[in-house]
Amino acid sequence: MTLQAVSVLVRGERLYEPGPWDEPTAWFLGVRALDAPLRKPARRTVSFAATGAHVLRGGDPGSFATFRCGTLRDRFSQIDMLHLDVWWRGLNVLVDAGSFQYNAAPEWHEHFMRTASHNTIEIDGLDQMKHHRQFKVIYWTKAALQHSSDSPRAAFAEGEHYGYRRHPGAAVHRRSVIFVKDDLWIVVDRVEGTGVHALRLQWLGGVFPWTAAANGMDLSTPSGPFTVRVLDEDGNAAAATVAAGVAVPPRGWLSRYYGEKVAVPSLVVERRTELPATFVSVLSGAPYSASLAKNRWTIELENDRVVFDMAGGRIDLDSVSIR
């Protein structure tokens, strides 16, 4: 209601189609204000530095991703740095788990807040920040967006966070994302640091029928199959498990509305290894094949061929070719 009224006041354009939310606009600006035309904003890749929210958009308005990367500025926040949400053909195929309830049993409140419930990497079973009490976290995460750009064929983003630097090994998690418009996301996760550590990567699926694969999962959506696969830096399949609606400890839950939770598939890859370590995730709404020769990756789709070099766990953006 408020956004509609303010938009009509300052731009002479409505944000939303006519509806009951127009009442404040009519009261404050007069009935004639309801004749304001509907605003049709350009949909493009954009970064909001102040909030740490970044949107990678495709040509299809229903296909995009949101990337969380920015130094924490507010006291209360979910512990979710470098989380990636993916929308494909209007469907939220890879999701943020939500909040569920603020006054639920501690194990549920903590689950929905903590790193392990998000589409990011958890190290040594620890959170990026410390959940000190119900609405307070300490050791606020610092993060930096390294790159964000857009082109007619693809959108790019790369960032890193420093939430684990305070622990032994001083680990830094960096994530690089290539969105090949409009059906393919390539996500490279690199954890730098020293020593041997337990790494856990999760991809949380939406409310769709699913099947598990050796290194991923398949979602059966109204728009067709959407697949998630995880590889290591040598192009080998990473061992994965998929589970939904696990109560102890909580895993595979989505809360769209306050006080409500539903079971959804949680794909987890766990690896205990010496740092540095790399994961490559391929998230696709189209059939493809992937191959690796030295540091050069090639992903073949029906109408696209994506080639890029990756050395040291980082995508060389100058090497990216899409044809």
- The span from the CA of 85 to the CA of 71, in Å, is 18
Number of compact structural domains in the chain? 2
- Same domain assignment for residues 158 and 291: yes
- Same domain assignment for residues 189 and 73: yes
150 bridge partner residues: 155
- Same domain assignment for residues 11 and 148: no
- Same domain assignment for residues 138 and 18: no
* Mean pLDDT score across all residues of the chain: 93
- Same domain assignment for residues 21 and 63: no
pLDDT band at 240 (very low <50, low <70, confident <90, very high): very high
- Same domain assignment for residues 152 and 23: no
pLDDT band at 312 (very low <50, low <70, confident <90, very high): confident
Task: Tell me which residue range forms the domain holding 199.
Answer: 46-322
Average pLDDT over every residue of 213-221: 96
Cis peptide leading into 249, omega within 30 of 0? yes
- Same domain assignment for residues 243 and 111: yes
pLDDT of 76 strictly over 70? no
Q: pLDDT tens digit string along 284-305? A: 999 999 999 988 999 999 988 9
- Same domain assignment for residues 188 and 265: yes
Q: What are 320's two structure tokens? A: 């990216």
Q: Is 208 helix (H, G, I), strand (E, B) or coil?
A: coil
Determine the pLDDT at residue 43: 76
Q: pLDDT tens digit string along 3-58? A: 889 999 999 999 888 998 899 999 989 988 889 999 877 778 999 988 899 999 99
Determine the pLDDT at residue 225: 98
**Amino acid at the residue 25:** T
Determine the pLDDT at residue 57: 96
Q: Is 40 among the domain residues?
A: no
Average pLDDT over every residue of 73-91: 91
- Same domain assignment for residues 134 and 6: no
- Same domain assignment for residues 12 and 158: no
- Same domain assignment for residues 28 and 130: no
End-to-end CA distance of the chain: 45
- Same domain assignment for residues 216 and 274: yes
Q: Is 41 among the domain residues?
A: no
**pTM of the predicted protein model:** 0.90
Given a contact cutoff of 8 angstroms between Cβ atoms, the answer to whether 262 and 318 are in contact is no
CATH number at residue 63: 2.70.98.70
Range from 12-16, 156-160, 208-212 carrying the lowest mean pLDDT: 12-16
- Residue 102: alpha-carbon gap to chain centroid: 23
* DSSP codes of every residue in 254-319: E-SSTT--EE-EEEEEEEEEESSEEEEEEEESS-EEEEEETTEEEEEESS-EEEEEEETTEEEEEE
